Amino acid sequence: MSVQYTPVIWNRNKIFYDAILLVAVALYLYVFIRVAPAFEDVTKPIDGAILRMRAFGSCAFLMLTVILCIGPLARLDRRFLPLLYNRRHFGVMTAGIAAVHANYVLGWYFAFSPTDRYVALLSSNTSYGQLLGFPFEAFGIAALLILFVLAATSHDFWLSFLGAPIWKALHMFIYPAYAFVVLHVALGALQGPADPIFTSVVAASVVLVSGLHFATGRMEARRDRGDETAKASLQEEGWVVAGELDDIDEDCAKVVTLSDDERVAIFKYDGKLSAITNACAHQNGPLGEGKVLWGCITCPWHGYQYNLADGRAPEPFTEKISTYRLKLIGSTILLDPNALPPGTHVDPVEIGEAA
C-alpha cells in the first residue's frame, strides 16, 4: 500500500524474492550456455547465438509456466501466497528474458541480409495457409507484445489509472500469451529433429498449467456447492442464513457465496461481527482468506487493509469496499444480501449482546 507512486517500494521480502529469481535465472542461463555444452554429443558446437536464443527462449517459457502456476497453487494451498506477493517482478523479468531471446533471433536469423531485419521478420515467411511451415514467429511476436504491455502496466499507477476491472481484464491476457508461446514452440522448435526432453518439458508445462487451473476451478465449484445454504436458506424479510458463530475463528472470516460473482466475508473479532465484500479493491484478492491485523482486515495477496466497520482503508489511504448488514439470532448469523455503497459505515454486531 502506498499513497504515492514510486517505481518500486522495496522491502526485505521483495529483495529476497528478486534475489532468488535472479539466482535461478542466472543459474539456468549459465548452465545452459556454459556448462551443458560440455556434455553435448555433437560433431561441432552449436552456434553461440543459436545456443543463447534457445537458452533465453526456454528460460522465458519455463518462467511463464511457473508464473501461471502460482495463482492456482496459492488458491489450493495458502502457503504459496508469498510467491504471489511479488509476482509482478517475476512477470517483468520474464518479459525481459523473452525480449533477449527475440533480440538474438533478430540478430542472427534475420540479420546479414540486405532486407531490414524487422521487415524480414514479417515478410520472409508468409505461409500462413499451411500448418507445417506456418510462420510461428508471429505467435512469438504476439506473445512478446502482450508480455511488454503487461510488464509496462504492472505498476499500481496503471491499476489505479485503469481501474481494477479493466486492469484485471488486461492482465488476463497472460493466458493468450501463454497459448501463443506454446504454439510458437509447437510449430517451431518442436518441429525440428526429435528432441524427447524438450517435447516432454513443453507437454509437462501444458499439463501442469491446465491441470492446476482445472483443479482450482473444481475446488471453487465445490465451495460454491457447499455454500448453497446461503442462497437457499430461509429468506425471512430479505435476510439469508450465513452460518453459525462457531464456524468462524477469532480474527478470521467465513466466506458466503451470494451469486457467481458476489461473495461476502464475515469477520469475527473482539467479540463483534462485520461483513464486507470478499473482493479486495486492489486486485480482487480474497479478503475472506485474510485476517484481522491491528484492527483491520488484511488482504492475503498484497496486505491491503480496510476498517471492519466501514470498509475504508485507514488514512491516508483512500480505497474503500462494499459493506453488508448482519444480525444474530441465537448463534445463527443472518446476512442482508444487499451490498451497501463502498465505505458505508455499519455498526458491528456485538456477539455478547445478541447471543
Partner 1 sequence: MSWKQTKDAPFFVGYLNAVPKQLIAFVGIFSVCFIAGLGLAALALSSTQNDPGNGGFQWGNRYENVGLLELRPYPVLRVAAEGENPARTYMLTGQGKRGVFSQAENNAGTPVNLRGVPVNRGDLTMIQVGKVEAAGEGAAEFTPSEPVPLGRWKLAGEICDGKCYAGAMRPGRGLAHKACADLCLTGGIPPVFVSSGAVDGRNFFLMADKDGNVLGDEIKALLALYVEIEGDVERLDDLMVFKVDLATARILK
Q: Which of residues 265-304 bind partner 1 (CB under 8 A)?
A: 288-291, 293, 298, 300, 302-303
Closest CA to 187 of 247, 131, 256, 118: 131
Could you tell me the end-to-end alpha-carbon distance of the chain, in angstroms, rounded to an integer? 37
Nearer to partner 1, 174 or 265 (CB): 265
Q: Give the whole-angstrom CA distance, residue 14 versus residue 41.
A: 41
SS3 264: strand
Please report whether residue 218 would count as binding partner 1 according to CB under 8 A. Answer: no
Please report whether residue 32 would count as binding partner 1 according to CB under 8 A. Answer: yes
CA angle (253 as vertex; 333, 278 as ends), nearest 5: 100
Long-range contacts of 157-163 (CB under 8 A, 24+ apart): 157/5, 159/282, 159/283
- Residues 140-199 binding partner 1 (CB under 8 A) are 187-189, 191-198
Nearer to partner 1, 120 or 149 (CB): 120
Please pick, from the candidates 88, 101, 171, 254, the single residue that binds partner 1 as defined by CB under 8 A: 254
Please report whether residue 205 would count as binding partner 1 according to CB under 8 A. Answer: no
CA angle (326 as vertex; 320, 327 as ends), nearest 5: 160
Percent of the chain that is helix, strand, coil (3-state, to 5):
55, 15, 30
Please report whether residue 29 would count as binding partner 1 according to CB under 8 A. Answer: yes
- Residues 74-113 binding partner 1 (CB under 8 A) are 74-83, 85-86, 108-113
Please pick, from the candidates 3, 7, 41, 352, the single residue that binds partner 1 as defined by CB under 8 A: 41
Minimum CB separation of residue 238 from partner 1 in Å reads: 27
Please report whether residue 330 would count as binding partner 1 according to CB under 8 A. Answer: no
Please report whether residue 58 would count as binding partner 1 according to CB under 8 A. Answer: yes
Question: What does the block give as the cell for 46?
Answer: 552449436
Minimum CB separation of residue 353 from partner 1 in Å reads: 23
Nearer to partner 1, 223 or 345 (CB): 223
Nearer to partner 1, 135 or 340 (CB): 135
Residue 221 burial (CB count, 10 A): 10
